[in-house]
């Protein structure tokens, strides 16, 4: 004969202690990345939208940048027509970084969090104002 209730309570107490360090970390020691979009160019936009929808950009911007590079360098195509039918010059510096001129508060904000370091800035120019972290 044993007391099932006490065992369950014991397990619950054990789990609470065993997992405490994990859930007490959530949202505190590892702050969530908060990329800022309050740049002068974006502030002036009527509809604050990226070249493609936000969810797509968040997940696929690396691939899009690769496509842009291939398109510009291999095919000499320097105009991108977005899924909404808008046209953009294919340029990391003059298009992406014109809107996202706050590289450290935008690109680096997420990349630091995700621990990725794109090597693009070895060659591609970033304006002084935006270069305080690299």
**Where do we find the tokens 């510009």?**
72
Query: Is residue 88 a contact partner of residue 68, using CB atoms and an 8 Å limit?
Result: no
Q: Classify the phi-psi angles of 80: left when phi > 0, otherwise alpha if psi is within -120 to 50, otherwise beta.
A: beta
Binding mask 28-57 for ligand HEC (x = CB under 6 A): -----x-x-x----x-----xxxx--x--x
Distance CA 33, CA 40 (A): 21
- Kindly tell me which of 92 and 129 has the beta carbon lying closer to ligand HEC: 92
Binding residues for ligand HEC (CB under 6 A): 33, 35, 37, 42, 48-51, 54, 57-58, 61-62, 64-65, 68-69, 72-73, 90-93, 95-96, 99-100, 106-107, 110-111, 114, 116, 118-120, 122-124
């Amino acid at each position: 004969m044993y007391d099932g209730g006490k065992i369950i309570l014991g397990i619950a107490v054990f789990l609470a202690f065993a997992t405490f360090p994990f859930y007490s970390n959530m949202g505190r020691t590892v702050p969530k990345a908060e990329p800022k979009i309050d740049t002068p160019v974006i502030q002036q936009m009527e509809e604050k939208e990226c070249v493609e929808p936000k969810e797509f950009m968040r997940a696929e911007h690396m691939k899009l940048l690769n496509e842009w590079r291939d398109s510009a360098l291999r095919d000499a195509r320097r105009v991108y027509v977005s899924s909404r039918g808008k046209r953009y010059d294919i340029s990391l510096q003059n298009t992406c970084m014109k809107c996202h001129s706050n590289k450290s508060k935008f690109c680096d904000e997420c990349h630091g969090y995700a621990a990725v370091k794109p090597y693009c800035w070895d060659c591609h120019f970033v304006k002084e104002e935006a270069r305080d972290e690299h």
